[in-house]
Structure 1
């Protein structure tokens, strides 16, 4: 595991993808563009476990131009389009082991005015979902797809972190619930945070689920 203040490629290897997904919660995803720095605390991350995971793009060894980033080395960015949305994923295992973590939601902390302008929304709607957070950050295309995070305009800060009071493992969103992997608890959330993609107001905590 990296000993720097940033999640370099070495952060995304050497341990199970589920552990990496949990370790990302409370760290800060940052994106630097011509409009400045935007970003926020990661509050929801979803693990995809490769060729045996029916919900994964690489299930049964599927390999194409679309899924090629998954087969690259750990720390490779997999920025892909699903319907009208761009989604942000990081590869978590050595080359040819196509596993990754989808960042599903962030709590804005940097460039919040720009994020509001990018989304044209306010409150939790700014970044409470994987397509919403990419819009909020200002990601407009797949230019950085296949890049290593070390060599991209993205940073995951391990210095700007908050400690989750409780991490819950729950089923993933938007996958076939009847498939073999459909109900596996591979989505990890900061319990009580209002920016979780399917959160209910009655579950929101005043501290947003952080210990301090």
Structure 2
């Protein structure tokens, strides 16, 4: 089956809605080595400039955060602890917000994913975390600024996810962000074993 990118208008939603709407969508990366993709099963919303956990908190505008000040639907990549993480820029122009893609369920190119993630022993090990999924899919820091509604890195329509299938909780790994660490802005598909931190 051939998957095509969503329309740019898909990203014209409030950030929390984008974070929920991304669940079930297909994240696709095309490279010279082949195509790899996965169903998005976990996201986190970051709503700057009032969100102390956001890179754009207090309207912090740097070379790294610049893309967040532009239109929604673009790729925001950054490196943390040697791992590349991928985010979807959201919010209106001039109001820097984003949604982190935390986990995907492998779909296409699983053999290629194992080649990239040599230490992975099971399919779950491939993409059950934000740093794992980027390496498995071949998403790199240089993808920064690409539109998510065009090849080679894009989001396509996927599986329908009902509201009752979505679990909500606090975000992960932001202990030093004051009250922001308690905001219920993490969304994930209930019972999906590829969600980061899910029981094996």
Q: 1:47 aligns with which of 42, 45, 48?
A: 45
Q: Distance in 2 between matches of 1:73 and 1:99?
A: 10
2:8 is the counterpart of 1:9: yes
8 Å Cα contact 1:118-1:135 kept in structure 2: yes
Q: 2:82 aligns with which of 81, 84, 98?
A: 84
Write the mapping of 1:1-212 to structure 2, written as runs, cut at 5 A.
6-13=5-12, 15-120=13-118, 121-123=120-122, 124-139=124-139, 141-158=140-157, 160-163=158-161, 166-176=165-175, 179-201=178-200
TM-score, with structure 2 as normaliser: 0.91
Q: Distance in 2 between matches of 1:178 and 1:110?
A: 36
TM-score, with structure 1 as normaliser: 0.86
8 Å Cα contact 1:144-1:152 kept in structure 2: no
Q: Distance in 1 between matches of 2:10 and 2:87?
A: 14
Q: Gaps (5+ residues) in structure 1?
A: 202-212
User: How far apart are 1:105 and its partner, in Å?
Assistant: 0.3
Q: Tell me the matched-pair count.
A: 195
Q: Gaps (5+ residues) in structure 2?
A: none
Runs of 4+ displaced beyond 6 Å = none
